[in-house]
Structure 1
Amino acid sequence: MKLFYATGTCSLSPHIVLLETGLPFDVEKVDLATGKTASGADYLSINPKGYVPTLQLDSGEYLTEGPAIVQYVADLVPQKRLAPPAGSMERYRLIEWLNFISTELHKAFGTLFHQAPQETKQAARETLAKRIAIVDKQLRTHEHLAGNQFSVADAYLFTVLSWARPLKFDLSGWPAVQAYLQRVAARSTVHAAMVAEGLIKA
């Protein structure tokens, strides 16, 4: 497998999950500005959507969209328990959280990264505050987002919430979230993924 990624984006999430599985995989960096991969390939020929992540499967097929990729990877090694069994209520709860992160947190943070009227950005910040409060409430009684087992939802949530610092979005009002981020950051796989992508030093 090969993961196409860009530093500082949501592709960190499947990178973490791949490391959690212990499966062999390669990574290739994408320059989103030029649309070229590190090997000089035209990224749009790989993923016409033009954004990351993209996972090239061993079959040669390409899979896009982070929540789909992390579930696919988790299901390759069910014994790692990165996702509950397909068809179980616990799996649907996981999907529920993945969708919440994607539509309510990822999207709102995305607004802050791009050029937008100040009123739009302020509205996004207010939405984020309400949504992060929901996450904080969950984490007051659970070690991880979908329970007490690290899952693909945690890889995604950690990735998205890590954008708070560069965007100067203050998380101090949510102590459970802060403690959670410290716990997840301490995982060897998370540290390794961040080092590999140049987000932190080894």
Structure 2
Amino acid sequence: MKTIKLLSILFISSILLQSCSNDDDTPEEVNEEELITTLIATLRDASTGSSVTLTFRDLDGDGGDDPVVTPGTLAANTTYNGTIQVLNETETPAEDITLEVLEEDDEHQFLYVIGGGLNATTEYTDADGDGNPIGVTFNLTTGDASSGTLTFILRHEPTKPNDGTPASAGGETDISAPIPVNVQ
């Protein structure tokens, strides 16, 4: 009889312990980063309206095949109004990730890195709700004839405000797209 009582108490205790488990923990929201395969930068001459399109397309992501890059030739001593579009072209139709960047503008920023002797400067022309740059729209002003690379970097969760450099911005790189540019 004692054995039956003991087994009954152990059985009831185990049921009570299981029913008291803490299932109230709310799981953290998972916000997966979008796949970005393509960056298109359109530069429109502020005085003539003519445009130059720079593209960086890497459909297989890091590694694998080299990206397909369309360089551009810009006029010397000219200001261009620029816009950037980022896409996921592994989907049909291609998903426009630019919409998400604008929707989550406080969590994104494009950086522009001018290298290799390119004589140009950039200026942000858009801002998030806190007045910090986003970089989907910008101005690019060329100097005298030169050539080099214009690298567009999209950062997720950057430190804002920052000085526009990758070191100052921090965050994670969603895409880094180096594109050769000639100024004539």
Short-chain TM bin: under 0.3
TM-score between the two structures when normalised by the length of structure 1: 0.25
TM-score between the two structures when normalised by the length of structure 2: 0.27
Higher relative contact order (CA 8 A, sep 6+): 1
Structure showing the higher helix proportion among its residues: 1
Structure showing the higher strand proportion among its residues: 2
